[in-house]
Chains A and B, each alone.
Chain A
Amino acid sequence: MEDDLISKKELLDLTGISYGQLYRWKRKQLIPEEWFIRKSTFTGQETFFPSMLIQARIRNILNMKDDLSLDELASRLSNTEGYSEIRLTKEAIIERNIVTDIAMSAYGPEVQSNEGLYSFEQLLHLYAADTLLARGEMSLDEGRLLLRTLEKHAGALTGKPCELYFVRKMGVALFLLAPSPAELYFDEGVRLVAKVTLGDLVEQLKGRLS
């Protein structure tokens, strides 16, 4: 994930936005400060962005910009309102490539609510499991544990920045949900397999939905 960076210049060429727009969006806090990553290159210091996140965010802004003012946009982007009404069928999810059909067939029946429709929250949980599966860090069975954890506790953390930790000790898998920024310290035998920011997942998922 960390290596997947895009330089400012590439980003502007790719999306067709201008420097002025980029900086204005930053001032309006549509693009978080943390995404501006400074790195030294041979031409001096350059700014990079997390490729997936920034592109999804810019697509979102460009899509919504005509209907909303920037201030409205800022509040819209920071929450999941407007998506809470979403209900998708299994077929639509696979067709739109939101969650792979492997994850869908493995976990879909457990998560789905009545009439075979999926809400945004359920989609998010599936998407989280799918992301970890795709990275090859989690087995299918562990994914069930993850989904149960998310289902039970993610609700309590809605609206707060929150991180998902996946750790293993002697082959035993553990999931932790913690409000961020939190610093966790583990004993020596523990390996931190993956750390995912739920806000990022929401972002990516929104990008795929729109």
Chain B
Amino acid sequence: MTEEDKELGQRPDLILNGVGSAAGGAYDKVLIDGVGKVEGSLNARLFKANGQIRVKGGLFTEGMEVNGIMSLGGPLRINTMKLDGILHIDGSVIGENCVLNGLMTAKGDCELEEFRGVGGFTIEGLLSAGHVDIRLEGAGQVHEIGVESLKVRQGDQSLWNRLLGGIIPKLKPMLTARVIEGDDLDLEYTNADVVRGNDVIIGEGCSVGLVEYRTGLTVHPGARIGKEVKTGD
């Protein structure tokens, strides 16, 4: 145990098992198993939850691990996050590292250094990240993307996935964005109005209105591009 841990250890733990609710506040560890409800904002060193969790305020934590369904009424500030399941955020996300396995929706902006995983996401604001590496199993919808590097792949295309994707649009593994800007862009199955970058790869199944590139552009024969422009020098 480091010196810092000891100091923070003076804060109490919040443990909810079964069905329970709490008011919120500052804790060292928050452990929720079952159906948990928190009425206010939470500030914790570690946040671990399994089951169905509802937090009405924001969540500020260093390490976050969620298995199950969680909804958050305010902003999310994290250092690292690991999500298995569904997370709904009524605010913005600011953090370092996010590993996604499931669905995430955020009402505001999403600013992360690293964002990778499998699943789908809806971000109503700007997704700004250092590195994004996503394998889409559901729909990815973002208003605007600004990144250093972005890699989008489609998940396994099994029969069931294709069938369900056809019936429920939310499950169709496509990335949709108005504007995608970044240094290295490697796209597949993406719908976008504008893509701007240094090195751009437009892969299979893409449909892009305008591509602006600085150094290189590779286009898959199965991709549709409205217009391509080389910018700079």
| Interface positions of A (Cβ within 8 A of B) | 9, 13, 18-20, 22-24, 26-27, 43-45
B231 touches A13 (CB 8 A): yes
Cβ-based interface call for B172 (8 A): no
Q: Which residues of A contact B40 (CB under 8 A)?
A: none
4 closest Cβ contacts across the A-B interface? A20-B148, A20-B183, A23-B146, A19-B181
Q: How far is the CB of A44 from chain B (nearest CB, A)?
A: 6
- 17 example contacts (A-B, Cβ-Cβ < 8 A) are as follows A9-B231, A13-B231, A13-B232, A19-B198, A20-B147, A20-B148, A20-B184, A22-B146, A23-B146, A23-B148, A26-B128, A27-B111, A27-B130, A43-B194, A44-B178, A44-B193, A45-B179
User: Binary interface profile of B, 160-188, with partner A (CB < 8 Å = 1, else 0)?
Assistant: 00000000000000000011011110000
Q: How far apart are the CA atoms of A22 and B146 in the complex, in Å?
A: 9
Q: Which residues of A contact B149 (CB under 8 A)?
A: 20
Q: Which residues of B contact A27 (CB under 8 A)?
A: 111, 113, 128, 130
Cβ-based interface call for B197 (8 A): yes
A20 touches B231 (CB 8 A): no
Q: Which residues of B contact A18 (CB under 8 A)?
A: 183, 198
| Interface positions of B (Cβ within 8 A of A) | 111, 113, 128-130, 146-149, 178-179, 181-184, 193-194, 196-198, 210, 231-232
Q: How far is the CB of A34 from chain B (nearest CB, A)?
A: 14
Q: Which residues of B contact A45 (CB under 8 A)?
A: 178-179
Q: How far apart are the CA atoms of A13 and B229 in the complex, in Å?
A: 14
- Chain A, interface SS category: helix
Q: Which residues of B contact A43 (CB under 8 A)?
A: 194, 210
A19 touches B178 (CB 8 A): no
Q: How far apart are the CA atoms of A22 and B198 in the complex, in Å?
A: 13
Q: Which residues of B contact A9 (CB under 8 A)?
A: 196, 231
Q: How far is the CB of B37 from chain A (nearest CB, A)?
A: 32
Contacts A9-B231, A13-B231, A13-B232 known; A23 to B194 CB distance under 8 Å?
no
B182 touches A24 (CB 8 A): no
Q: Which B-chain residue is minimally distant from A9 (CB atoms)?
A: B231
B194 touches A19 (CB 8 A): no
Q: Which residues of B contact A20 (CB under 8 A)?
A: 130, 147-149, 182-184
Q: How far apart are the CA atoms of A18 and B215 in the complex, in Å?
A: 12
Q: Which B-chain residue is minimally distant from A23 (CB atoms)?
A: B146
B197 touches A19 (CB 8 A): yes
Contacts A18-B183, A18-B198, A44-B194 known; A23 to B128 CB distance under 8 Å?
yes
Q: How far apart are the CA atoms of A123 and B193 in the complex, in Å?
A: 47
Q: Which residues of A contact B193 (CB under 8 A)?
A: 44
